[in-house]
Structures are given as C-alpha cells and as structure tokens.
Amino acid sequence: MRPSKAFLMCAAILAGLLASLTLAQEQGPLKDPGPTVSKPKQPATDSSTSGASDTGTTADPDLPKVPSQYKKSPNTTGLANFKTDVDMVTLDVSVVDTKGHFLPGIPPSRFRVLEDNVPQQLRQVNMGEAPMTIAMLIEFSNKFQRLYGTTWFQTLNLAWGFASTLKPQDFVAVIAYDMKPEILSDFSTDRNQTHEALQRLTIPAWQEANLFDALTDTCDRMSGIEGRKAILLISSGVDTFSKLTFDKTRKIVQEAGVPIYAIGLMQTLRIMQDARGRMGGGQDMEYLQADNEMRTFAKESGGMAFFPRFQGENPEIFQQVEQSLRNQYVLSYTSSNKVHDGSYRKIKVELIDENGNPMSFKDDKGKPVKYAVLTKSGYKAPREVE
C-alpha cells in the first residue's frame, strides 16, 4: 500500500523539526566564550619569563632577549613630588514621571547633590542623547524556560523585542545564564551577531538559575566601560545555587555603578496559578522575594524594574528604558571629601526650587506630576597611591 500525501507531509515536517533541534544543540551556548564582554582580562604572568610585548604578540623564545636599561628604579631623591587632589564624580541622572517618561528642560540650578548628606558644588550639568551600551543578561534555565513552555516564549519575545528597538550605533552584548553565565555575543553594532546569539536560545540545559553570580560577573565586566551603559536583566529573579548571597551581590551592584533595568518573568502565570490554588504559600513567598530583590538591584543601581503581565506591555517598557538611557542629565562635581580611604559614599540627587524646597511639576491641566530621580546610589572612593 502506497503511503498517503498527508502522511508524507507529516513525516517531512517531523524530520525538519528534529534536524533544527539537533542543529540548535550543536549551536548551543558558547562553552568557551573567549573575549569578555568589556575587554579581555589579562592573565597574571611573570614579566620576567613571559616574553610578551605590550602589543600582545609573543616573542620568539629562540631569539636573544633585548637588554633593558630600566631594570633598576631611577634615583628620585631630591625631586619634587606631585599629587592630585581632584576627585571628580560624574553622575548619569534621569528624571522620569510615573509612566517612565523623561522630563527635559530642568535648569542646572535646580539640581542638588548630597554625598553622605553633605551638599556638593556642581561644576557642570549637561543633557544630551548618546548611543547605548547594553548587556542583555537573560535567564535561560530548564527550571522555567522549558522548550515551548509559556516562560520560554515570554523570554524570547522580550529578548527579540528589545533587540529590535536598538539603533545602528548602539552596542549590545548577549549573555545567557543557568548554572553559570555564557557570553553568546560580545559588544557589537553588528545586528547579525546579536541575532545569531539569540537564535542559540533554543534548548535550555541546566536546572539551576544562579542569578547573583551571573549579575555580579556582568557588573564586574562592565564597570570599566565609559559612557551610557546598562544591563537589561530578563529573569524570574529566583536564585537557586549562587555562591554569593543577596547582601554581597547588592554591595557589588552598588559599587559597580552600572544601571540595571530588570524585567520580571511569569507574572501572568503566577496570577493564574494562584487563582487556581496551584501555588503553595512557600513558592509564592519565593516569587515575591525574587521580585523585591530585582527591584532593589534596579533602584540602587539607578535603573528601573518592570513586571509585565501581558505581552502588549513590552513596547512601552522598551520605550521607557530607551528614554531613561538616551536622555540623561550628566552631573559633574568635585567631592568635598578628600580622604582616599576606599570607603563607599552614598549619593542622593534632589530637585529643588529657588527657595531650596522640593521642586514640583504640573501637567497641562495644572495637576501635580509625580516624578522620580534615577541615579546610582553611591560610589567607592579611591585609595591613596603609595
């Protein structure tokens, strides 16, 4: 008996699906990511035996070493010593209303910066639009993002949706994490690299989701990057097996100075399960704690946290993130605290009127407008150079 056309078509579709899944497994997250997100970390080597030049090329071991006349430190006795005491601090500040819309046109005299509750003298206040440097840190664990599951689709919709809003001059890197973070693509303006990285988000591997370790690792890599930078965190907020605790992670996030824009997953699913009575009290508390931790990371780093319930909310979230990052006030001041002790100094930015009272805004109808001032919560003071 000859097989029917319908049977042949079903067999062809099944074969194609299996082939694509096999290819996705072969193209899974990079196990050896190579370059770091910001810049390669130089391994600790012995300069006397490495034979490597400053340009990164390796010298031929068969060639004789070039003698150096700078083996010994020069005699500096009697020479003048110069020391700088300028402690410049630069803050990226966003002023947004309750809907996340940026509020422009604020005069420089309306900003007040407090460092450890001590008012600081502002040297410069600028406003402009600049390209973004974004690291997309995406939870992709078999704990929640199982193939073709609801959270799997939501994660991909958020990742692909945000990537589609980027401008050509924006730099973006893609990092996925489960047991550990995996760099899928380094910073680049080439959108083909971003798309290829997101295509690897097909079949999750490990059951663990170590948020704290992945977030601190990404903050550490991005701390040395200049300009408008941020981490877009797409996560359930649940940490299962990290080496670091929440308190240690919070401290590292504060000191890194990288704004975190967090988007929480599974809000609709939680509501549905709670309504059906399928979610126990302990699991419900775990999710509430996860949301609060993501809010803390976002607030103390100068970012924002979102918890969408419907897919239709995603475009507005992407717009708020873009407005907050592209349109910012850049405040610069010289710290009045000249002590270089490496301590953490808290920062607070306020808007005041001509009388020193909190500044108020009104809309077109004369109604007061609530607003929030977003910036990092502090910075780590430098240490004395001996």
Write the DSSP assignment of 14-52 as a string of letters.
Answer: HHHHHHHHHHHHHT-S-SS--S-SSSPPPP---HHHH-B
pLDDT for position 317: 94
Sheet containing 111-115, strands listed edge to edge, beginning at the edge strand earlier in sequence: 118-119, 111-115, 344-351, 378-380
* C-alpha distances in Å from residue 128, one per residue of 106, 228, 319, 327, 330: 13, 11, 17, 6, 8
Residue found by looking up tokens 């809010």 in the block: 295
Alpha carbon distance 141, 235 (integer Å): 10
Backbone angles phi, psi at 202, to 5 degrees: -115, -60
Separation between Cα atoms, residue 261 and residue 231, nearest integer Å: 6
- pTM to 2 decimals? 0.68
Query: Which residues contact residue 372 at a Cβ distance below 8 angstroms, ignoring those fewer than 6 apart?
Result: 95, 96, 97, 98
Contact (CB, 8 A) for 369 and 362: yes
Domain boundaries, the chain: 88-128+327-380, 133-326
pLDDT (tens, 9 = 90+) of the chain, 386 residues, equals: 455 544 444 455 445 444 444 444 433 344 444 455 765 444 444 433 333 333 444 444 454 444 433 344 445 444 444 444 457 898 989 898 877 778 888 999 999 999 999 999 999 998 867 788 999 999 999 999 988 889 999 999 999 999 999 999 999 999 999 999 999 999 999 999 999 999 999 998 888 999 999 999 999 999 888 778 899 999 999 999 899 999 999 999 998 889 999 999 998 888 777 666 655 555 678 889 999 999 999 999 989 999 999 989 999 999 989 888 888 899 999 999 999 888 999 999 999 999 999 999 888 888 898 999 999 999 988 887 64
133-326 placed in CATH 3.40.109.10: no
Residue indicated by tokens 């100075």:
257
DSSP string, 218-248: HHHHHTT--SSEEEEEEE----SS-SS-HHH
Q: How far is CA 301 from CA 282, 295, 323, in A?
A: 29, 10, 17
Q: Where are the alpha helices (DSSP H) in 179-313?
A: 191-199, 211-222, 246-256, 267-275, 281-301
